[in-house]
Structure 1
Amino acid sequence: MLDRILGALYGMALGDSMGMPSELLSRRKIKEVFGEIKTFEDSPEANPAAIGLKKGEFTDDTAQALIIVDSLMENNYVPDKRIIAKNLIKWAVDTDAFAKNILGQSSKAALHAIQAGEDPEPYTVKAVTNGAAMRIAPIGCLFPSNDLPGLAKYVACISEATHKTDVTIGGAGMVAAAVSAALEDKSWEDIMSTAENCYMFASSYGAETYQASPKARLKLALELAEKYRDTPNRFSLSIYEIIGTTTLMSEAVPAALAMAYYYREPEVCSLACANLGGDTDTIGAMAVAVCGAKAGANGIRQELKEVLERSNHVDFSHYAESLLEHRGKVSC
């Protein structure tokens, strides 16, 4: 189990860092700038988001995911939105994330409110972007897949500092549930079913919105995966054009889970996500976390893992060991 948890963390970072250079670029622009992304790349001048990052560096997706785990360690794995907000704000200030516009819209608005001593709820109950899901993969490592109600409640407790709507908590629950099922080496069909089933539990904790359902869109995306099983380029294009790859939760989560389902192998999936277009780093982080949980750390090339650790100065084993120690023992 430790190898699979480590695989989820490496996978998250791999998908994030491989997709970093193409973040928020269109498919056409990616082809114009890179031709095709085949390995880690520096962020180009054309990138509107990951400004100044070098090959192998991950973005706010993985950084915030590790901050979530740090915040849990700080409080014996009892989620506390005040601690989570405090640590997210410290990271944002230390990295100049507010000024560089690194943060997503929902997180930025909520954290600015908390900084000003205001109630963030007017922003959290309107959040529809993917910030809660992009950083939730490690939480899937804490729960067995047969405890979706417990997982969903915990995801809600983690997310409410910045995201408190049905679609954002529901989408985050889907990603966490997929990681949980992948850790148990469930079939890819069962992994997707587990993600779909978690949506009902998790979305019930959020304020109602009129956003498209990530669960319904995932069903459609999986139909596209079967339709284009032998034509990867047509599948990728269908995700981009039909499901959507923007920062909206209702697009990014079904896109990510479908990419994981289709490509399966961590490195292959990371490259497919990097060339997908749109919110490539976030979709990659979510998708490859699931692939990594299924494959384990031993299923990811050693060279890639070394680049990730060296470029980001992170000891992923430290986090994996802590998550394993608390697996099946947490609640909120």
Structure 2
Amino acid sequence: MDKRDKILGALYGQAIGDAMGMPSELWPIQKIQDYFKGKITTFLDGPKSNDIALNFTKGQYTDDTNQAFVILDALIENHFVPDTQIIVNHLQKWAKEIGAFENNILGPSSKAALLAIEEGRDPLNITKKAETNGAGMRISPIGSLFDTLHGDQLVQMVFDITKVTHSSDVAISGAAIVAGAVSAAVEDKTWDEIIKYALSVGDQAKKLGAPTWNASCKERVKLGIELAKRYQYDEEGFSQAIYDLIGTGTMASESIPAAVSIAYYTRNVHKCALFCANLGGDTDTIGAMATAICGAKQGFSLIPPEWTGLIDSKNPQYHISYYADQIMNFRNMTN
């Protein structure tokens, strides 16, 4: 399988996991089971009773994937050299176009940082305390830019992008773990090698962030992998263990370890996207991160074509094949 196919898999995986998890976003598991009469089994419209998902329709992805592509646009504009002002300009333009500030679309850390910049204030006091998953949810395409021999460059780019809205150690290390997992998956490493590499770049990235007292993403990933092995033949047991022990909330220290552990457990886009959608908590973001990793490992050609077709038809604002070409061009020049 060629690298472009696996890069496409990562990009579509991000979008699929996001769109599948959109209807149940930030609902507890009991509410998901009651509302959907058991489980989500396909793409659905956002329920009118879900204040966050109500404006989305079947197959549409949310701010997670939109921001991932916005950041790619900012990188492409500057020949893949991260520039804080260019990234901010692209994020603010996107946010204003869709009314993100008014319509509860942006996460709290990103919203606060971007508003501070808009008002001419230094966002550092906000970004260094940002503990949420806004950086991790949009970082998976960055992992596809680098092979595993270029971990230093990967960590630096993750930092340069993440610090715009999140400069805490937990946010940066968490984002690097997601990006590292994608990088190793594109390289078709084994699943255990994927986890090992992701944690190593996470360790490196953590040193660049402002210290916080958050639980360690690394240690929670390691716990999640132990749970995946313990519940190898009990999917419901594993889901409940992730929900109870790792956590599925919006904190980076919960959702990122949950996503990486779920990718390790499910190992394919179809299973991963549905697993995350029914998990409870930050389902779209966990789905975006986890399914991107699975897509990078599995490749685009093995994703159901009706799923990728739906993503393309319901999200015409971005052309995923274009981004795959741009990423391949970058890799050919640097890796």
The TM-score, its normalising length taken from structure 1, stands at: 0.98
Match of 1:23 in 2: 25
Structure 2 Cα separation of the partners of residues 111 and 169 of structure 1: 18
Query: Gaps spanning 5+ residues in structure 2: where?
Result: none
By how many angstroms is 1:165 displaced? Answer: 0.9
Shifted more, 145-154 versus 242-251: the winner is: 145-154
Aligned to 2:192: 189
In 2: Cα distance, 1:124 partner to 1:205 partner:
13
1:92 is aligned to 95
The residue correspondences of 1:1-332 to structure 2 (distance < 5 A) are 1-35=3-37, 36-313=39-316, 314-327=318-331, 329=333
CA contact (8 A) 1:142 1:328 kept: no
Q: 1:155-213: per-residue Cα shift (whole Å, max 9, x none)?
A: 00011110101110100000000000000111011111111111111111110111000
The 3 A distance-change label for structure 1 pair 329 and 207 is: farther
Per-residue deviation, 1:330: 5.9
User: Does the residue aligned with 1:68 lie in a helix, a strand or coil?
Assistant: helix
> Which 4+ stretches in 1 moved above 3 angstroms?
328-331
Q: Distance in 2 between matches of 1:330 and 1:78?
A: 12
- Give TM-score, length-normalised by structure 2: 0.97
1:33 alignment partner AA = Y
Identify if the C-alpha distance between structure 1 residues 264 and 137 changes in structure 2 by more than 3 Å, giving closer, same or farther. Answer: same
**Segment of structure 1 superposing worse, 64-73 or 147-156:** 147-156
| Aligned CA-pair RMSD | 1.1
Whole-Å separation in 1 of the counterparts to 2:334 and 2:120: 30
Partner amino acid for 1:84?
Answer: I
CA contact (8 A) 1:266 1:288 kept: yes
Q: Do the aligned residues in 2 keep the contact of 1:153 with 1:205 (CA within 8 Å)?
A: no
SS of equivalent residue, structure 1 residue 327: helix
- Listed one character per residue, the Cα deviations across residues 17-64 of structure 1 (whole Å, up to 9, x for unaligned) are 000000000000001111210000000022131231000000000000
Percent of paired sites with the same residue: 50
Structure 2: which amino acid aligns with 1:20? M
1:147, CA displacement in angstroms? 2.1
Whether the 8 Å contact between 1:12 and 1:289 is mirrored in structure 2 is yes
> Which SS does the other structure have where 1:131 is aligned?
coil
* Superposed CA offset, 1:293-321 (max 9, x none): 00110010110000000000132100000
